[in-house]
Each structure stands twice: as structure tokens, then as C-alpha cells.
Structure 1
């Protein structure tokens, strides 16, 4: 856990497989360090760092939480209105909070951000620090191909600029663990549409037609489809569902669960 510049904001910092990408900074907020209370608070019902406007939290609390978070960053994050789709935006040009589930940037100081409670946050970084990105990978987005689209967009951007193809490092943040993510046949069938080996990420539950799904394994399969090897992926292995002291969980806490932020940027000083 890193404390960044404000000791009260708890966070998880990526440990990148193969070493830290050049000039890249990233972290994932935990549930404490803000001013939200009640279901959007910390484990004691106070000091919550909820960054989502759509969960019923007081608007002034969310805005203050976002302002406090921005003090730890080179700029305001490029927030998205997430819809469990596959749209990927170039964060530099994003205005307001456009509908998308992933963004990327080549511009130092621009902060890509996604919000999650149980969904898988995925951060991407070129080893040379030329491009970074963030994706919100819930099961509908994973099934539809949001991770593949993010990798394709990042590669195309560098190639179109006359640059060499990126060597990507990828980090999986906290999300619902396999032991708690019980789903039906519809989820398995949706995954099989684009991931031929999807069955390997599902194990039968006690109830007929029910399975426990491993979002991390499904994400690895998706990335392999676009040439990102498993050895390029680092996984924090933390479950939002299993650790209520540190994380919110939509499945555990319900619709009024708070949301975490996964953030990544290229350090301005490096350029």
C-alpha cells in the first residue's frame, strides 16, 4: 500500500511484472481517506473515498473526494461514464464524462481513470513509458472484448505516429474473487462467444446451472488473443468481496456501494 502525498488516502500500488515501466505512475484507491459516510464510508461508516456520482452518495461529498484525490495527481482524472461496453477513448480529447469503458493517453500528465467496486480494473503501460491506459472490465465488457479493443487502440496510436509497437505491461487490480463470483449459464455462454477457452475459468457451483467465474483468467485469455502474453501480466490477487475493511463490493454491499478509482499516467517531469 502506498500513501502518496496525503497519508489518509489508502491505496494499492501496482507491482509490475518485469519491472516498473519507465516514467509511469499508477494506483488504486481503497475505501478510506475521503469524507463520505454511511454505506459510502469506510468500514466504520466514515471517511469514505467514494468517487462515483451515481450510487446515491451526497454530491458534495463525491466532489470533495475527487478534489482531494486530484491533489495527489498531476491533473484532474479523465472520468468516464461507464456502460459495460467496449468503447475506448483517447483521454487527451475527452470532455466531460463521456460514455466509454477504457481510455489511453500518450500525453504526460493526463490521468486515465476507471471506477470499480467488483469489476476488474486493468491498467496498461508501455515499458518505455510512451503510452498508458485503463480499462473497466466487468463480465459484459470482458465478454464483448473491451480489453482487446484497448490494446488495439494503444498499438494503432503509436504505429500511426511512426513509433515502434508498444511492449505492454498489464496490471490487474482488486476485484471480486472467484470464490464469491457465482454466475449463471448466460455468463458462461457470453464468454464462449469470443473466448474459446472460457470454460477453463469456470468451476461448477452447488446449484444446477451455476458457476464460480475467475475474472482474472478470463482477462488473461482476452489479452492473449491480441498478443499480450501471460508473463506480461501482474495480478494483485486482492478480492473486493472478501475484504470489507479495504474495499467496497457491489455484490456484498448492494447498489449503494461506493466506487474505487484505478488511475494511471505518464509523469510530466520525464518529458
Structure 2
């Protein structure tokens, strides 16, 4: 079951861990306008930079962090996870797709607009993680890299609680036969994550299901999928694919973040 308010969604499995704050933030209650309305947290968008800064400051405040302690990375659909011990130096944001930390007061987050955000916590070891898992990152190992980095800080896969946030659902994720064949060539056992649409005859990919499978393969036992689709929930969530279908020139990004108090 998901705990929901207007601005963010919370997973009970993570909310139950003392001294940990987290949120899968929606697009609501920010200051951005137009196609970015309103809580756009993506510096890589063409939104007004001051609006993005204010939106991120609001997110940081809700989590209990200072604005400079809300950390995200330059995402590149890679299998790279970095460890955060302090705020990034100015102009030195690392290129990666996951962040882990054992430092209280740092809110670590990822930006998404169809890809799957995954938040992690080992409450006993006091280690948290956040991963951006699109199909490329998931296929190349970003989930396993996140778990490995958390283990370097003392976490154990068996104790980690992982939650998959809002992502594009299989029903909205038509990919084409060429995609399926390439994917199966790299992952021969992944056929179960494809279904053929009865109308178009084209395959659709189950990204959240595949991410959950990679989590299980990494040794994570407690896995929750919020089951929310970015494409279909236009009121609350940004979606890259929906923006393309609407012919919009850009799109906003929602943030999912976690912090050790």
C-alpha cells in the first residue's frame, strides 16, 4: 500500500525504518509553468533554472535536508553507482545512474520521466541508495552496481528493502520487434517480460517487472513495486513518452530521494 499526499508518494516498507526519510515526488506543488508544471526537478530540462532550484529546495526541505545536500547525478543510462560522503563540489557532478550513502543529512536522488526510480535502505547498516533504471541501465547492471556499492558501506542484500517507484507500465511501453530481439540476444531468459499487443501486434516491455527481477538476482529479498505508471497518470507524473506523443518540445522530471536523518 502506498502512502500518498499531493506532493509525494511514500512506501510503507521504507517509512517504517526509523531515522530514514524518503519520497517519490510527483509533479505537483512546484513553481514551474507550462509543460514543466509544476515540481520539475530536472536541471537538464529547458525549464527556467531558478524554478528548478526552488523546486529542488522544496523537496530538500520536506526530506529534512538543506538545498545543497540534495544530490543527484548526471544520468547517462549507465551501470555506474557512486558513493556520496558530502555534497558534490561546484561543477563536479559525477556521471552515474545510482548514488549510495551512509552520511546522515545527505538526500540522494534520481530523476525520472518513464525510467524506473528505485530507492534502497539497509536500516541496520544505515546505508541508503537511489538508482535510475531505464532498460539500458537495468540491462547493463545498474541495480547490481547499487547493491555492490551499498555492501562496500556495510549493507547486506538480505537486509535491503527496495522500492520501485512510478515508471512506464508495460501497457504503455511499446518497443518494437527489433528491440525485443536485441534484448533477448543479451538476456535470453527475459522473454517473460515481453507481451504482444493484440491491437498493434507489437511487443511491449515490462520495465518494472524486469527491474524487480534484477533486484532479486542481486540478492535483495524485500522488493516492492508501487505499480504506478508515468504515462497514464498525466495529472501527477511527468512522462517522456507521453510528451513525445503530444509533440511537446521538452518534458519535466520528477525526483525520488532518500535520506538518513
Q: Which runs of 5+ in 2 are unaligned?
A: none
Which of 60, 63, 67 is the aligned partner of 2:57? 67
The residue number in structure 2 matching 1:45 is none
- 1:40-79 equivalence runs, <5 A: 40-41=36-37, 48-72=38-62, 73-75=64-66, 76-79=69-72
Q: Which residue number corresponds to residue 123 of structure 2?
A: 127
CA distance in 1, matches of 2:97, 2:29: 25
Structure 2 Cα separation of the partners of residues 177 and 91 of structure 1:
31
Q: TM-score, normalised by structure 2?
A: 0.87
User: In 2, Cα distance between the equivalents of 1:246 and 1:74?
Assistant: 24
Which among 218, 222, 236 is matched to residue 226 of structure 1? 218
Gaps of 5+ in 1: 4-8, 42-47
Deviation at 1:120, TM superposition (A): 0.3
Aligned-residue offset at 1:67: 2.0
Give the Cα–Cα distance (whole angstroms) in 1 for the partners of residues 157 and 137 of structure 2: 25
- State the SS of the aligned residue for 2:70: coil
Residue number in structure 2 paired with 1:10: 7
The corresponding residue for 1:199 is: 191
How far does residue 59 in structure 1 lie from its aligned partner after superposition? 1.4
- State the match for 1:256 in structure 2: 250
Asked whether the 8 Å contact 2:125–2:154 carries over to 1, the reply is no
Q: 1:189 to 1:24 in 2, by over 3 A?
A: farther
Q: CA deviation at 1:54?
A: 2.0
Shift of 1:211: 1.0
Match for residue 138 of structure 2 among 136, 139, 142 = 142
Return the alpha-carbon distance in structure 2 between the equivalents of residues 193 and 25 of structure 1: 40
Instruction: Give the Å deviation of 1:119.
Output: 0.5
Q: Does residue 1:108 correspond to 2:128, yes or no? A: no
Local SS of the residue matching 1:252: helix
Kept in 2, the 8 Å contact 1:101–1:146? The answer is yes
1:90 equivalent in structure 2: 83
TM-score by length of 1: 0.84
* Contact 1:142/1:191 (8 A) holds in 2: no
Q: Distance in 2 between matches of 1:26 and 1:193?
A: 37
Instruction: Evaluate the alpha carbon distance shift between residue 158 and residue 31 of structure 1 in structure 2; reply closer, same or farther with a 3 A threshold.
Output: same
1:266 Cα deviation from its structure 2 partner: 1.0
Q: How many residues align?
A: 248
Q: Is the 8 A contact 2:157 2:220 kept in 1?
A: no
Deviations 1:216-243 (A, max 9, x none): 11012212222123xx111110111111
Instruction: Give the counterpart of 2:180 among 176, 188, 198.
Output: 188
- Cα deviation, residue 263, structure 1: 0.4
**What SS class does the counterpart of residue 228 from structure 1 fall into?**
coil
Deviations along 1:188-235, one digit per CA (max 9) or x if unpaired, are 345445644311111013445x31111111012212222123xx1111
User: Per-residue deviation at 1:110?
Assistant: 1.1
Q: Higher mean Cα deviation, 73-82 or 111-120? A: 73-82
Give the CA deviation at 1:56. 1.4
